[in-house]
């Protein structure tokens, strides 16, 4: 049973590995034995991650990839399979957010958020699915969010894309499952990453989000590694079509008032 989380001998392609959650997950998968192919629009950033992994004795390589370019995603995955014999794990973390009320949203902003969060995730799902259903094995992990379930003002488009990611995961699980391929999502709460830096810079906003969790704090990117490795590994061999929330209890508690006598 101790070997259930071992990723030795597996090749994992991780999109968004240049920073934040993607960087932490790439390092974590390597530490669990996987060969990690770090893909990101920022090539310098993924080269830095690769250097860190290899310095610790892990197996890693890097390449530049624009997740919105579906043809490039197809080529990248095909290259990984051709060179390493299989594409065992695919993890897709990139997302962007334009926080604006619906009435102030522009068509360009709407299209930009959908291009990364929905079109990008779909392209990754389709490209990985084509290879994995043919090889009869594999695990695909997309990143959704608590915003797939709950919202706040200014989150309309972002929340819609994260709900869409979850529904794509469920559909892909149903379609790819007969070929032995698992598809799941991670649903983070508030995590300290470059994407959330503007919130952290506002002390009141930062504290308000921390207070929404039962731990009264934000997550670190490294705290997304365990849930992701679980879904990637044989420990989750019968887990597919679902979302694993790593949100510090955000969705579990609907208030912070403690009734008298409790």
Residue 163, in any domain of the structure: yes
Alpha carbon separation from 44 to 65, 116, 148, 151 (Å, rounded)? 12, 20, 32, 35
Residues 6+ apart with CB under 8 A from 26: 12, 14, 17, 36, 38, 49, 53, 60
Q: Quick: pLDDT tens for 207-221.
A: 999 999 999 999 999
* Domain count along the chain: 1
Pairing of strands 181-188, 138-143: parallel
Would 228 be classed as within a structural domain?
Answer: yes
125, part of any domain: yes
The enclosing domain of 180 has a CATH number of 3.40.50.720
Q: Which residue has the higher pLDDT, 196 or 144?
A: 144
- Domain span holding position 225: 2-246
d(CA 25, CA 224): 7
| Percent of residues, the chain, with pLDDT higher than 90 | 93
pLDDT digits (tens, 9 = 90+) for 32-44: 999 999 999 999 9
In a domain, 252, yes or no: no
Residue 42 lies in a domain: yes
- Is 260 within a domain? no
Which residues does the annotation mark as catalytic? 158
Q: Does a structural domain hold residue 85?
A: yes
* DSSP label of 85: S
Quote the mean pLDDT of the chain. Answer: 96
Q: What is the pLDDT of residues 161-209, one digit of tens each?
A: 999 999 999 999 999 999 999 999 999 999 999 888 888 899 999 999 9
Q: Is residue 147 part of a domain?
A: yes
Q: Helix 70-84 to helix 121-135 angle, to the nearest 10 degrees?
A: 30
**Closest C-alpha among 63, 80, 61 to residue 128:** 80
Query: How many CA atoms are closer than 13 Å to the CA of 184, on its beta-carbon side?
Result: 22
* pLDDT, tens digit (0-9, with 9 covering 90-100), for 82-127: 999 999 999 999 999 999 999 999 999 999 999 999 999 999 999 9
Q: Could you tell me if 37 and 63 are in contact, meaning their C-beta atoms sit under 8 angstroms apart?
A: yes
Is 218:209 a contact under the CB 8 Å cutoff?
Answer: yes
Beta pairing partners, 61 = 37
Check residue 35 and report its DSSP letter: E
């Amino acid at each position: 049973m101790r070997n259930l989380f071992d990723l030795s001998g597996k090749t994992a392609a991780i999109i968004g590995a240049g920073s934040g959650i993607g960087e932490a997950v790439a390092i974590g998968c390597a530490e669990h034995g996987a060969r990690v192919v770090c893909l990101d629009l920022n090539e310098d950033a993924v080269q830095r991650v690769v250097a860190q992994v290899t310095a610790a004795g892990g197996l890693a390589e890097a390449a530049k990839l624009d997740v919105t370019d579906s043809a490039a995603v197809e080529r990248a995955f095909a290259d990984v399979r051709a060179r390493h014999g299989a594409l065992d794990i695919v993890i897709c973390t990139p997302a962007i957010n334009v926080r604006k009320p619906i009435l102030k949203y522009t068509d360009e902003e709407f299209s930009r958020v959908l291009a990364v969060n929905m079109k990008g995730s779909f392209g990754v799902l389709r490209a990985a699915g084509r290879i994995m259903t043919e090889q009869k094995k594999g695990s695909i992990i997309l990143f959704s969010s608590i915003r797939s379930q709950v919202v706040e003002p200014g989150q309309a488009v972002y929340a819609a894309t994260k709900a869409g990611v979850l529904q794509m995961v469920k559909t892909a699980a149903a379609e790819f499952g007969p070929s032995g391929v698992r598809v799941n999502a991670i649903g983070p709460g508030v995590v300290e990453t470059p994407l959330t830096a503007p919130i952290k810079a506002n002390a009141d906003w930062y504290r308000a989000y921390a207070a929404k969790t039962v731990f009264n704090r934000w997550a670190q990117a490294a705290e997304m590694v365990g849930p992701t490795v679980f879904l990637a590994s044989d420990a989750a061999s019968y887990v597919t079509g679902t979302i694993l929330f790593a949100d510090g209890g955000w969705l579990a508690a609907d208030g912070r008032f403690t009734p008298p006598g409790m």
